Structure 1
Amino acid sequence: MSVRTGALLIHGLGGTQFDLGSMHKVLQRAGVETHAVTLPGHGGQPEDLVPVSYEDWLDAVTASYRELAPQYDTFHVMGMCLGSLLALALCERVQHSKGKLVTLAPPVFIDGWSTPWYRQLRHLVYCIPGVASRMKVEEDEPFGIKNATVRAIVKAKFARGDNFHYRWVPLACIRQVDRLRRKVLAGAHRITCPTLVVHAREDELTSLKSAEFLQATLPDVRVVVLENSYHMICVDNDREQVTNSVLEFFGYPPAPPRRVRGADKT
């Protein structure tokens, strides 16, 4: 009787499975059946995010987990950015023990080099009725990508209006991310499954403080620090290191090397 291995992959804020680069294909080639979840408020227009709470996101990934996990002998959970916070909260909620947990660029703290000095003022804006729903937080260069070639591709996708990532998100949505971050900060110590944290040293959204917190808090954790990427680590210069770190963590051999298009130091 064959052993079945599955994985739930959770995308980032305003994003799609594009956030995870080739992760689905790489894992499928290794024999892992991957499953995507589209978070509430995603896949349509940015305005769809206004009424959504982090509980809606967490309930959605919990429902997917509870439907899928019983079908497999081993079932892993993986998330990118917001998806990694949801993966952490999910594994705490269900006391995940059927597989491993992978957090990619987890923004436990929003304190990266591109976040403005006045970022904490957003908490005051949250208190003004209606304002957070109307304010837009724009996606702008470098789009979380250090690789100049990939960054140009992403910029062209935005210019064409491709439906791969929202061009902006409402500030009300960032409030929900902040609420979720507080939940993860409070509950991470209750996660017991083996965990991999992959984080770029130069992440412009979230500093290595996030990885250090998880390393200090989780009982069974491995941290990989990337030296040549920004936030979108699955599509940036270190993307092969990301996929191979995940494959190794899951017990699979590395993927065949691929030519890294446009890798650079800029």
Structure 2
Amino acid sequence: MSARTGALLIHGLGGTQFDLGSLHKVLQRAGVATHAVTLPGHGTQPEDLVSVSADDWLDAVVASYHELAAQYEVFHVLGMCMGSLLALALCDRVQHSKGKLVTLAPPIFIDGWSTPWYRQLRHLVYWIPGLPGRMKVEEGEPFGIKNSTVRAIVKAKFARGDNFHYRWVPLACVRQVDRLRRRVRAGARNIACPTLVVHAREDELTSLKSAEFLQASLTDVRVVVLENSYHMICVDNDREQVVNSVLEFFGYPPVPPRRVRGAD
């Protein structure tokens, strides 16, 4: 394995690098130089997302990729949730071949068990002038987390107002995620780099249909299905399996197992 190995890690909608759990530290200990990108409209306040487009997000990760990839002999791309959609779109646009691609809980489809039956009505609301920018999509229980201890910690962080994740996002930016999802579905077959898809069977936001779509669309793909997590797989019950799946995929030994507190 080259000593000059880097990776671009992309967080999810409304999130920060907290979305990725311990992946930054674990990869650094394995010898991978990790680089985080803060997406436009993030790290400040949710209102800043209103005017941000899917192209803004994609342009930001493409710019980071071009700046960083030239510095390494091997360069991987990894994304969580919406970050995985951006990772897919990035690899399509630049025809990534310098390393591998990891998609964690990719929401190709928004059809998980907690999504309401009327979710498709949002596409009608998008066309009402001014309304998508004013409507708030709240982050609520179970916060994408099955582990009761971790969920309680996240709930307390929200109550304190910690700036680790937006408490809500405007519907206007959900529209941009939908645009990104369509772009990924259209371009997935153009991605040739080796790809790992890690997806929870009980993901409340996006069902295994998303993983199955990528498995059918990509030419070189491995799928890992988690059995004891919801959407936020990097911090939930199966987080060690996530870490070790990524390490193995990149060609590194696994980390020793530890007891998972509060596993349900």
Regarding TM over 0.5, the answer is yes
Q: Which amino acid aligns with 1:21?
A: G
Farther off after superposition, 254-263 or 79-88? 254-263
Residue in 1 that maps onto 2:198 = 198
- Separation of aligned partners in 2, 1:45 and 1:251: 38
1:26-62 deviation per Cα after TM superposition (whole angstroms, max 9, x unaligned): 1001000000000000000000000000000000000
Residue 238 in 1 paired to residue 214 in 2? no
- Separation of aligned partners in 1, 2:13 and 2:261: 26
Residue in 1 that maps onto 2:128 = 128
Question: Residue 256 of structure 2 aligns to a residue in which SS?
Answer: coil
TM-score by length of 1: 0.98
- Separation of aligned partners in 2, 1:47 and 1:145: 25
1:60-117 deviation per Cα after TM superposition (whole angstroms, max 9, x unaligned): 0000000000000000000000000000000000000000000000000000000000
- Separation of aligned partners in 1, 2:12 and 2:182: 17
1:181-192 alignment runs, 5 A limit: 181-192=181-192
Question: Residue 115 of structure 1 aligns to a residue in which SS?
Answer: coil
Question: Residue 77 of structure 1 aligns to a residue in which SS?
Answer: strand
Farther off after superposition, 12-21 or 251-260? 251-260
Residue in 1 that maps onto 2:85 = 85
- Separation of aligned partners in 2, 1:12 and 1:34: 17
Residue in 2 that maps onto 1:13 = 13
Question: Residue 253 of structure 1 aligns to a residue in which SS?
Answer: coil
1:199-214 alignment runs, 5 A limit: 199-214=199-214
Question: Residue 144 of structure 1 aligns to a residue in which SS?
Answer: coil
Alpha-carbon shift at residue 25 of structure 1 (Å): 0.4
Q: Which amino acid aligns with 1:136?
A: K
Structure 1: 4+ residue segments shifted above 2 A: none
- Separation of aligned partners in 2, 1:35 and 1:127: 37
1:140-155 alignment runs, 5 A limit: 140-155=140-155
- Separation of aligned partners in 1, 2:152 and 2:252: 33
Question: Residue 118 of structure 1 aligns to a residue in which SS?
Answer: helix
The count of residues paired between Structure 1 and Structure 2 equals: 263
Residue in 1 that maps onto 2:111 = 111
- Separation of aligned partners in 2, 1:239 and 1:172: 31
Residue in 2 that maps onto 1:54 = 54
- Separation of aligned partners in 2, 1:28 and 1:238: 20
Give the CA RMSD over aligned residues: 0.6
Identity of aligned residues (%): 88
Consecutive unaligned residues in structure 2, runs of 5 or more: none
- Separation of aligned partners in 2, 1:8 and 1:257: 26
Contact 2:102 2:196 in 1 (8 A): yes
Q: Which amino acid aligns with 2:86?
A: L
Q: Which amino acid aligns with 1:41?
A: G
- Separation of aligned partners in 2, 1:122 and 1:157: 29
Residue in 1 that maps onto 2:174 = 174
Contact 2:3 2:31 in 1 (8 A): no
Alpha-carbon shift at residue 258 of structure 1 (Å): 2.1
- Separation of aligned partners in 1, 2:184 and 2:63: 19
Residue in 1 that maps onto 2:24 = 24
1:25-40 alignment runs, 5 A limit: 25-40=25-40
- Separation of aligned partners in 2, 1:145 and 1:223: 21
Question: Residue 223 of structure 2 aligns to a residue in which SS?
Answer: strand
Residue in 2 that maps onto 1:100 = 100
Contact 2:229 2:237 in 1 (8 A): yes
Alpha-carbon shift at residue 230 of structure 1 (Å): 0.1
Alpha-carbon shift at residue 262 of structure 1 (Å): 1.3
